[in-house]
Amino acid sequence: MKLKIYLAISSLLILAACTSTETQMGREASARPRVEQRALSNAIDIAFKEVNFSQVIGKKVFLETQALSKLDVGFINGYLTSMMLSKGALVVADEKDADIKIFSIVKISGTDEIRRKILSDKVRGEFRSVLSIIDLKSNRILNTYELNGESDENR
């Protein structure tokens, strides 16, 4: 019995010692590899799963996204535009023409590579954001969501 416990603990320690996490630096200007795109895209889908966009149906919507990295702002705005159009909203380019404002502050949008010596490597995508739906006519916040999503993809 003690031997089994010792072997189990030893195995866990070996696995933990054979794993490392790396975040690539200097990625601002270049595209992510396919596996990283899948991991991050799935994390974004998971994060937005619980958001109720019923307030935008038939409304003019202005989108604004702020992020630490400029790399994903265009994608997030495109993602939100697609969601708004699918809900029957009209996305406008000028805030003064809008009924509703979707304001997104992206806290985390990126990937980490997890290198493992025994098992295959994987990439973890993570997305964290605060999304607010604001009625511009009444200057009232209709909803605020803390969005969190993580997704792993094998390399």
In whole angstroms, what is the distance from residue 89 CA to residue 82 CA? 10
In whole angstroms, what is the distance from residue 134 CA to residue 146 CA? 15
Q: Is 84 helix (H, G, I), strand (E, B) or coil?
A: helix
Looking at residue 12, its pLDDT comes to: 47
- Residue 5 token pair: 């416990």
Which three-class secondary structure string do you get for 38-73?
Answer: HHHHHHHHHHHCCCCCHHHCCCEEEEEEEECCHHHH
Domain ranges of the chain: 31-154
CATH annotation of 31-154: 3.40.50.10610
Q: Is 126 helix (H, G, I), strand (E, B) or coil?
A: strand
Per-residue pLDDT of the chain (155 residues; tens, 9 = 90+): 665 554 455 554 454 555 555 555 454 455 778 899 999 999 999 999 999 999 999 999 999 999 998 888 999 999 999 999 999 999 999 999 999 999 999 999 999 988 887 888 899 999 999 999 999 999 999 999 999 999 999 98
Looking at residue 70, its pLDDT comes to: 85
Global pTM value: 0.78
Q: Which residues contact 9 (CB under 8 A, 6 or more apart)?
A: none
In whole angstroms, what is the distance from residue 88 CA to residue 75 CA? 20
Looking at residue 76, its pLDDT comes to: 95
Looking at residue 119, its pLDDT comes to: 85
In whole angstroms, what is the distance from residue 59 CA to residue 6 CA? 63
Distance of CA 128 to the CA centre of its chain: 6
In whole angstroms, what is the distance from residue 127 CA to residue 44 CA? 6
Looking at residue 120, its pLDDT comes to: 85
